[in-house]
Each structure stands twice: as structure tokens, then as C-alpha cells.
Amino acid sequence: MTYKDYITELTSVLNGLDHNSLEEAVLKIERAFLDQKTVFVVGNGGSAATASHLACDFAKTTLGHQPKLAKRRLKSIALNDNTPLLTAYGNDVAYEDAFAETLRTFSHQGDVLIVISASGNSPNIINCLHAAKEQGVETIGFLGFQGGKAKAMCDTVILAESKSYGVIEDAHSVFMHMLTERLKDVVATAQPANA
């Protein structure tokens, strides 16, 4: 693929984005924020890096330029960031159960889980989605290709419909920043008058 082809493919994916799905995701996250629930994010490999970045942006960037003044905060945690817990489950139970078991430990009904997966078929992502349903956790999928098995399991799907992993991962980063920008307004509006 040439550079020009790559840009064309990425532009096509972004132009094909379903804005209704983005807005649906914002509303789910806004509800969790207002109810003081937690947004969990998870992914493997490059998607794990995106998950960590997204959790960071939700927890900090949504607070704007003066985070010390914020009284209401969006709680967000990347399940893939706790290396000791992840490797303990991977070693003692099974890697495909590591995210699911971590979610079962920390989540509550009304929380939100965002899975980030190009293929939508990773066993640990699928098992985590099963655990989310058991826990009463709303689910959002940043998916690629045709969505894989995860597509039918997510309450909301934001799809980067491409066959290129690089394009999909770039699109997921754009989705992340788009949601963060919208949620900045949500968090700012919810601050107490004296904040």
C-alpha cells in the first residue's frame, strides 16, 4: 500500500463513520459519569496502548485546563494496565480469562466497558464481554473489519470497516479523541457552580 493509498483508505473509513453510534456511546458514558460509575477500557497489543490512552484521556483530559478545580470526575481504568494481576491470571488461570476476571473484581452494575479490538475475535475480549453481561455492565466496541464475534455482543459498536490493521488502529485513535472532546463538555457542564 502506498502512502497515498493509506491516506485514502483511512479517509474512507472516517467518512463512513456512523455518527449515531458515536453519540450513543457518549450518552452511555455520560450516564455512567453522572451516576458516578466507572468506564473500563481494554485491548490487546496496539489496542492495549489505545485502551490505556483512552482511560487516561477520560480520567484527566476531560477535566479541561484546570483539573484541580474539578469536583466531578469521569472515572476510567484500563483493565490491561495492571501487569501483576494480568500475569497472575494468565499464569494461574488462563490468559483468555484475565480481563474477564479483573472486570468481575472491580465492576458494578451500571458501569461501562469499552473493548478495543481490530478483529473482534480475541478470546480474552469475548470472555470479558460475557463477564460484562453477567455484571450488568454496558458495552461499547471499537471494532474493525466486519466486527467479528464481538459485534453481536456489544450494546454499541463503533466500526472501522477496513482490512488494514494500521488503518483500523488509527481510526480507533480518532474515535477516542472524538469521544474525549465531546465528554469534556459533559464533565464541564456537570461541575458544581462553586467549582
Report pLDDT digits (tens) over 49-80. Answer: 999 999 999 999 999 888 888 889 999 999 99
Q: For the chain, how many structural domains are there in total?
A: 1
Exposed / middle / buried, residue 193 (Cβ in 10 Å: 0-12, 13-18, 19+): exposed
pLDDT higher than 60, residue 195: no
Counting residues of the chain whose pLDDT is more than 70, the rounded percentage is 99
Could you tell me if residue 47 is inside a domain?
A: yes
Could you tell me if residue 195 is inside a domain?
A: no
pLDDT of residue 194: 61
**Number of DSSP helices (H) and strands (E) in the chain, helices first:** 8, 5
Please answer whether residues 118 and 145 qualify as being in contact, where contact means their C-beta atoms are separated by less than 8 angstroms: yes
Report pLDDT digits (tens) over 107-124. Answer: 999 999 999 999 999 999
Q: Write the single-letter amino acid at 102.
A: T
CATH of the domain at 109: 3.40.50.10490
pLDDT of residue 70: 84
For residue 181, give the C-alpha cell: 472532546
Task: Quote the domain boundaries for residue 142.
Answer: 3-65+73-186
Could you tell me if residue 193 is inside a domain?
A: no
Q: Is the dihedral of CA 178, 12, 44, 23 positive or negative?
A: positive
Mean pLDDT, range 78-101, rounded to an integer: 97
pLDDT of residue 8: 97
Could you tell me if residue 194 is inside a domain?
A: no
pLDDT higher than 60, residue 41: yes
pLDDT higher than 80, residue 169: yes
Mean pLDDT, range 76-87, rounded to an integer: 97
Q: Is the dihedral of CA 123, 78, 191, 182 positive or negative?
A: negative
User: 118 phi and psi, to 5 degrees?
Assistant: -65, -50
Report pLDDT digits (tens) over 14-26. Answer: 999 999 999 999 9
pLDDT higher than 70, residue 183: yes
Q: At 145, is the secondary structure helix, strand, or coil?
A: coil
Please answer whether residues 86 and 70 qualify as being in contact, where contact means their C-beta atoms are separated by less than 8 angstroms: no
Could you tell me if residue 192 is inside a domain?
A: no
What is the average pLDDT value for the chain, to the nearest integer? 96
pTM for this predicted structure: 0.96
Helices 165-189 and 46-59 pack at an angle, to 10 degrees, of: 10
pLDDT of residue 71: 87
> Where do the DSSP E strands lie in 2-111?
38-43, 75-78
Mean pLDDT, range 143-166, rounded to an integer: 98
Taking CA atoms, 141 is separated from 39, 101, 160, 175, 192, in Å, by 13, 19, 10, 11, 32
Could you tell me if residue 191 is inside a domain?
A: no
Could you tell me if residue 23 is inside a domain?
A: yes
Please answer whether residues 165 and 183 qualify as being in contact, where contact means their C-beta atoms are separated by less than 8 angstroms: no
pLDDT of residue 192: 86
Please answer whether residues 172 and 116 qualify as being in contact, where contact means their C-beta atoms are separated by less than 8 angstroms: yes
